[in-house]
Amino acid sequence: MPEPTAYDLLSKETALVLFCDLQKELVKHSGTATPKGIASSAGGLLQLARLFSMPVIISLVPEGKNPPDVIAELGHTDGYAPQLMRTTASLFGDQSTVQTIERSGRKVLIVAGFMMDAVVLATVLDARARGYEVVVAVDACGSTSERTERAVERQMESAGAVLTSVASIGVRLSPDFSRQDGQRMFAVVQGIKPS
């Protein structure tokens, strides 16, 4: 019998959501998905996290002398999702972020962010090296080049990460559309606009 994948182990009790560098000035450079599509999917993922009471971390990097400007869909969390600053490619290079992840007790990380071939890749590989299961919400990610994004997708899958969509994550969390949380989940994923 095959080992369970990160997707098999994904549940509202096991998962934590990591948003990496989804900042207006960075995401506007995406060449693989539109900034609006990334933002819509990330917003949907945040709504799912709140619906299912999953912890969230929004990790940001400095933008020169200016404070980072997170995309609007992640900007109004009313304290639900802490915004943590870091200066490393991987979220696991920042001790405050590592401690927040460890304190959560969650072992499945849902990762979304920009750029896939730098920050997302480094975070996914470090998470796998530390024994975490990883699900990458590809529609809430972007990069500057399709060629490099395809290469890092293969690299992440080789490391044991599962690449999927926000809608697939929602269905895994609540597959029964006759239940109230299933209906609310369905409404969230229907509201995602990929472009």
CATH code, 21: 3.40.50.850
Question: Would residue 195 count as lying in a domain?
Answer: no
Considering the entire predicted model, what is its pTM?
0.96
Question: Would residue 3 count as lying in a domain?
Answer: no
Q: What is the pLDDT of residues 40-74, one digit of tens each?
A: 999 999 999 999 999 999 999 998 888 899 999 99
Whole-number pLDDT of residue 101:
97
Contact between residue 128 and residue 159 where contact means Cβ atoms under 8 Å apart: yes
Element (H, E) at 7: helix 6-9
User: What percent of the chain is modeled with pLDDT above 70?
Assistant: 100
Question: Would residue 98 count as lying in a domain?
Answer: yes
Whole-number pLDDT of residue 21:
98
Question: Would residue 5 count as lying in a domain?
Answer: no
CA distance 97 to 67: 18
Reading the block at residue 112, the tokens are 């979304």
Whole-number pLDDT of residue 1:
76
Element (H, E) at 150: helix 146-158
Question: Would residue 61 count as lying in a domain?
Answer: yes
Question: Would residue 93 count as lying in a domain?
Answer: yes
In the chain, how many domains are there?
A: 1
Interval 106-112 mean pLDDT: 98
CA distance 191 to 171: 14
Question: Would residue 194 count as lying in a domain?
Answer: no
Task: Give the confidence band of 189 by pLDDT, cuts at 50, 70, 90.
Answer: very high
What does the radius of gyration of the chain's CA atoms come to, in whole angstroms? 15
Residue 65 belongs to domain spanning: 10-189
Question: Would residue 4 count as lying in a domain?
Answer: no
